[in-house]
Structure 1
Amino acid sequence: MDFAYDAHTEELRARLLAFMDEYVYPAEQVAHEQRARLASPWETPRVVEDLKAEARRQGLWNLFLPDAEHGAGLTNLQYAPLAEITGRSPQLAPTATNCAAPDTGNMEVLAQFADETQKKQWLQPLLAGEIRSAFAMTEPDVASSDATNITTRIERDGDEYVVTGRKWYISGAMNPDCRIFIVMGKTDPDGEDIRRQQSMVLVPRDTPGVTVDRAMQVFGYEDHYHGGHAEVTFDHARVPVSNLIGEEGGGFAIAQARLGPGRIHHCMRLIGMAERAIELMCRRAVSRDAFGKTLAQQGVVHNWIADARVTVEQLRLLVLKTAWLMDTVGNRGAHTEIQAIKIATPRAVVDIIDRAIQLHGAGGVSQDFPLAELYAGARTLMIADGPDEVHQRSLARREIKKYL
């Protein structure tokens, strides 16, 4: 078995690591200071736009998209170590390289399912980083872990669709550059097949009847760099029938196609978050004294760091295996592994970050270190893109089925 990255991946890793050291890490504090001076907290700090321009100049752009026509043409296996690197600074690096959710998933949907007119109007400016987007599926009034529960209606009225419903935790919707929503709702709520009741339509943000009601916090964070998470009302918002993505009844299948790559991208970045936590843990351990010796000389700290290293190495191999399977047998063939990493990675990374917070004491929960925000992001991923329990249920059924 060959565990080495290929030459192209190694070359991109070297360039990306240099970009992180030279531009991204120094920009973290600058972005924080610039944001404090903005008229609106949802505006993008100037340094972020500078990072985007530099990343594009260096060819570190749209790395996530395997479609060579629109993206970098990398396989999942090639992209995985690059996403890990950007995960070390999740607030800046994914956005800087145009590899930030939810835009990544939306661009994948448009590249795969949109018609040529839709691609020209929405995919091209997203690929260029000129606009942002949002994916509106989760709803506050139903258990959205079961996507068939959604109640938003998409009703045909002549040459238009009328969209009515309420969504929340719609990532990116607070960003003033968010121009388009991909909305999932029911076009056939009484259809016999519950997985053919849903469709997806493109709804421009400035459509009459679309209201961004409020920003949703995540553990008290508003996640400004991500574009925030909003509650959005669609009150008889009308869009042309031509805004349908794919076919009526195809929404559930499109959502599943979107979430597969999204889940592995999150897990790739989580590995980077864990590596950042381990680095901070080690730096803190060698620089602080307690009870007559450094924290690095305390036995319990040895255990935390050793366990974290073992865990990250295990997770990385599972993520890379999953990426390889997606490339060789497709998302369906990698279904078990995709679910496995979605269950295992956030849970383990939360534990690693928690230990790093403990080692930093009060500093760990403060704004002076990125650990508290990393924790909030990792813990949220135990819910986002399907809660752990849903993936456990499906994975267990697949295992049991072998013996029936």
Structure 2
Amino acid sequence: MDFAFTPKVEALRERLLGFMNEHIYPNEERYDAELAANRAGGNPWQPLQVIEDLKPLARKAGLWNLFLPFSERVPEGLTNLEYAPLCEIMGRVPWAPEVFNCSAPDTGNMETLERYASESVKREWLDPLLAGEVRSAFAMTEPAVASSDATNIESRIERDGDHYVLNGRKWWTSGAGDPRCAVYIFMGKSNPDAGRHEQQSMIVVPAESPGITVVRPLNVLGYDDAPHGHCEVLFEDVRVPVSNMLLGEGRGFEIAQGRLGPGRIHHCMRALGVAERALELMCKRLNSRVAFGKPIAAQSVWHERIADFRCRIDMARLLTLKAAYMMDTVGNKIAKAEIAMIKVVAPNVACDVLDAAIQAHGGAGMCDDFPLAKLYAHSRTLRLADGPDEVHRSAIARLELGRHLAR
């Protein structure tokens, strides 16, 4: 395995680093100010102008839709291995990926539509998503069941002539709070009597369909993630054309496994960017503050922590690159162990580095004068999003035990 950057990736990386330095970091305060103004005006869900102003610059710089590989619609799309270092850089600022049309859940939804939707559905929904004209949401998790086991999902998809009728209550539906959210991908049971992994289906649902109610946004450790939002959404007798079914009835679990592989590794790539930024902020703070007559950086306890984090971040990066390489070369199914491992490792590393960085900043680390508290809230969700740590650890253990069964 060769993880060296190709000349193309190195050029993109340098261009992206320049874009971040020129346009993203200098606008972090503007982003916060616009969001605060929207809150004061009673509408925190209004799209922020700073992001809309930067999107054309990102497109002009050739930094648009880099996440989607092997698509005729996106010739500029990169392989997972090529995309990894770029996604990590974008991940250093939570809102930056949207500037490049590389933010979740749109990336996972676009990949799902590209792989599994009909051409007519692609024209209707994938093309405007790729153009950044609309946003989307993914409706899978439910409050009434343990959704870490996707076969528990109770929402129904029932055939009625030329339509399917959808009923169910979803939550943690990322993107549903954004007023630009134009389409959902909805997972529900279409045949409860089929085999355990053939009961579920996925279908494309226009957000303006009658019967959809966004009940409430859900806070994460006090943050509502406006203007994006993670929401509870109620679907009541929502009618959707039969042609909107993805791949076919009973294949929702199959699609979920295909969708969540890239989604998981993208989360991990961004988590590495968060960890790097947290370590950087930590070191700068330790170098600049004096306690008990000497810089805090001179305290040996911090030497041990910094060295440990440097090792762990680099190890996590290598595992991410290995998983990306395998996804590109042998496919997501064979790479499932590597995907599960990095999904456990990367968010935990990011959370641990952030926790120490908050400690290094003292009281400043707990407030919004620094991005650490908000980054921690977001990173902590990744130990649950796209499957909790326990499920991934169980899968890893089963695969390892299976390797050593007596033949």
- Same fold, TM-score > 0.5, yes or no: yes
1:250-308 residue CA offsets vs partner (Å, 9 max, x unmatched): 11100110000111111011110000001100110111111101111111111221111
Residues 1:219 and 2:221 are matched in the alignment: yes
C-alpha displacement at 1:49, in angstroms?
A: 0.5
| Structure-2 separation of matches of 1:360 and 1:81 | 28
| Structure-2 separation of matches of 1:350 and 1:73 | 30
Amino acid at match of 2:19: F
The equivalent residue for 1:4 is 4
Structure 1: gaps of 5 or more residues:
none
C-alpha displacement at 1:2, in angstroms?
A: 4.1
| Structure-1 separation of matches of 2:101 and 2:89 | 14
| Structure-2 separation of matches of 1:67 and 1:126 | 17
- What aligned pairs does 1:79-228 form with structure 2 within 5 A after superposition? 79-90=83-94, 92-191=95-194, 193-225=195-227, 227-228=228-229
Amino acid at match of 1:247: G
The equivalent residue for 2:44 is 41
The equivalent residue for 1:30 is 30
C-alpha displacement at 1:402, in angstroms?
A: 1.6
Contact 2:65 2:77 in 1 (8 A): no
Amino acid at match of 2:324: A
Contact 2:87 2:270 in 1 (8 A): yes
- What aligned pairs does 1:348-387 form with structure 2 within 5 A after superposition? 348-387=349-388
C-alpha displacement at 1:70, in angstroms?
A: 2.5
The size of the alignment, in residue pairs, is: 401
The equivalent residue for 1:77 is 81
| Structure-2 separation of matches of 1:73 and 1:60 | 10
| Structure-1 separation of matches of 2:396 and 2:302 | 35
C-alpha displacement at 1:68, in angstroms?
A: 4.0
1:203-259 residue CA offsets vs partner (Å, 9 max, x unmatched): 11111110000001111110115x100000001111111111110011110011000
C-alpha displacement at 1:3, in angstroms?
A: 3.9
The equivalent residue for 2:295 is 294
- State the TM-score, normalized to the length of structure 2: 0.97
C-alpha distance 61-153 of structure 1, shift in aligned 2 (>3 A): same
Amino acid at match of 2:293: G
The equivalent residue for 1:265 is 266
The DSSP-based 3-state class of the residue aligned with 2:166 is strand
Amino acid at match of 1:79: Y
| Structure-1 separation of matches of 2:242 and 2:318 | 45
| Structure-1 separation of matches of 2:175 and 2:2 | 39
Residues 1:337 and 2:338 are matched in the alignment: yes
| Structure-2 separation of matches of 1:380 and 1:113 | 27
The DSSP-based 3-state class of the residue aligned with 2:332 is helix
Amino acid at match of 2:78: L
| Structure-2 separation of matches of 1:326 and 1:247 | 24
Amino acid at match of 1:58: A
The DSSP-based 3-state class of the residue aligned with 2:197 is coil
| Structure-1 separation of matches of 2:388 and 2:358 | 24
What is the root-mean-square deviation in Å for CA atoms of aligned residues? 1.0
C-alpha displacement at 1:34, in angstroms?
A: 1.2
Contact 2:137 2:184 in 1 (8 A): yes
| Structure-2 separation of matches of 1:88 and 1:32 | 16
The DSSP-based 3-state class of the residue aligned with 1:22 is helix
- State the TM-score, normalized to the length of structure 1: 0.98
C-alpha displacement at 1:73, in angstroms?
A: 2.7
| Structure-1 separation of matches of 2:353 and 2:155 | 39
Structure 1 runs, 4 residues or longer, greater than 6 Å off: none
The equivalent residue for 2:309 is 308
Contact 2:63 2:100 in 1 (8 A): yes
Amino acid at match of 1:121: E
Amino acid at match of 1:201: I
| Structure-2 separation of matches of 1:136 and 1:2 | 37
Sequence identity (%)? 58
Amino acid at match of 1:214: R
1:21-58 residue CA offsets vs partner (Å, 9 max, x unmatched): 00001111101111222241011111110111111111
The equivalent residue for 1:60 is 63
Structure 2: gaps of 5 or more residues:
none
| Structure-1 separation of matches of 2:400 and 2:311 | 26
C-alpha displacement at 1:158, in angstroms?
A: 0.8
